[in-house]
Amino acid sequence: MPELPEVETVVRGLRDPLIGRVIHGVWSDWTKAIRYPDPAAFEARIAGQKVCAISRRAKYILCHLDHDILVVHLKMTGRLYVAADDELHDSDRWVHVRFQLDEGRQLRFSDSRKFGFVSLVNTIEEIAPHLGPEPLSDAFTVAEFAARLARHHKSIKALLLDQAFLAGVGNIYADESLHMAMIHPLRAADSLTADETARLHHAIRVVLENGIEREGASVNWYRKPDGTAGSAQNHFAVYDRSGQACLTCGSPIEKSRVAQRGTHYCPTCQPLTG
């Protein structure tokens, strides 16, 4: 599933071709792709609205319209891109929602697994009321992070994946952050020392910022709106490197399951202590 860096890259890639465009209509062949309101009400409500701005909250893409917010969640295989009416793309075979824009262009939502969705809301809280803080925001301080950690005894990897605890971090960047901070993914969150908390706070921000700079990790389905790949996958320290040598110490990277997710770590750099 695309995480914060991938979603942020999509947002930035959509701004130039989409901001200022007017949505004239909506086509869909998969009713569950339009989560709220119902498809008929969705089409009637969005028609005639202009895209004024595009932003991100957690893993959600927010297209700010004249009166509403068009929310898109890519889930596992979603792609969002703008194309001319007669322009053909490989991803078109999985397009399940298409927004007709002015000037002969379309915003297309392609999703082969059909887990993604679009919604039309006044605020993101209508469909995601319990999102945690944004890890790259000024409000996400070490002190705030420490206070939140102290309230949880679950494993730190599982907690980082909890969107109510911290918004936007997923499996890839949790593994990478924990390795950079030298913390085992099974450590209890409330067992982290002040130094470990500060290291992890710093690592989360660095790993996410690097992911954005590299325009996301193109593993599996993720591509930028222009169809090209990001390069973050070329710089992984542990994720998807099971059995390979740790870039820090040379020990083999191990893989286990934490919170039902494949988890990669270095047993030497990230000992299970504390």
Read off the pLDDT of residues 39-51 as tens digits, 9 standing for 90 and up.
Answer: 999 999 999 999 9
Please indicate, yes or no, whether residues 163 and 81 belong to a single structural domain of this protein: no
217 contacts 172 by C-beta, under 8 angstroms: yes
Give the confidence band of 274 by pLDDT, cuts at 50, 70, 90.
low
**What residues make up the domain containing 175?**
142-265
Say if 214 falls within a structural domain: yes
Please indicate, yes or no, whether residues 209 and 183 belong to a single structural domain of this protein: yes
Task: Report CA-CA distances (Å) from 114 to 73, 75, 91.
Answer: 11, 9, 13
Please indicate, yes or no, whether residues 38 and 90 belong to a single structural domain of this protein: yes
Please indicate, yes or no, whether residues 35 and 116 belong to a single structural domain of this protein: yes
Mind telling me the catalytic residues?
2-3, 59, 261
The pLDDT value recorded for residue 124 is 97
Interatomic CA distance for residues 204 and 210, integer angstroms: 10
CATH of the domain at 227: 1.10.8.50
180 contacts 204 by C-beta, under 8 angstroms: no
Burial environment of residue 195 by CB neighbours within 10 A (0 to 12, 13 to 18, 19 or more): exposed
Please indicate, yes or no, whether residues 105 and 220 belong to a single structural domain of this protein: no
Burial environment of residue 132 by CB neighbours within 10 A (0 to 12, 13 to 18, 19 or more): middle
Please indicate, yes or no, whether residues 30 and 106 belong to a single structural domain of this protein: yes
108-149: pLDDT as tens digits: 999 999 999 999 999 999 999 999 999 999 999 999 999 999
Q: How many domains does the chain have?
A: 2
Q: What is the CA radius of gyration of the chain?
A: 20
The pLDDT value recorded for residue 1 is 80
62-107: pLDDT as tens digits: 999 999 999 999 999 999 999 999 999 999 999 999 999 999 999 9
Please indicate, yes or no, whether residues 157 and 216 belong to a single structural domain of this protein: yes
For the cut 70, the answer to whether the pLDDT of residue 151 exceeds it is: yes
Give the total residue count for the chain: 274
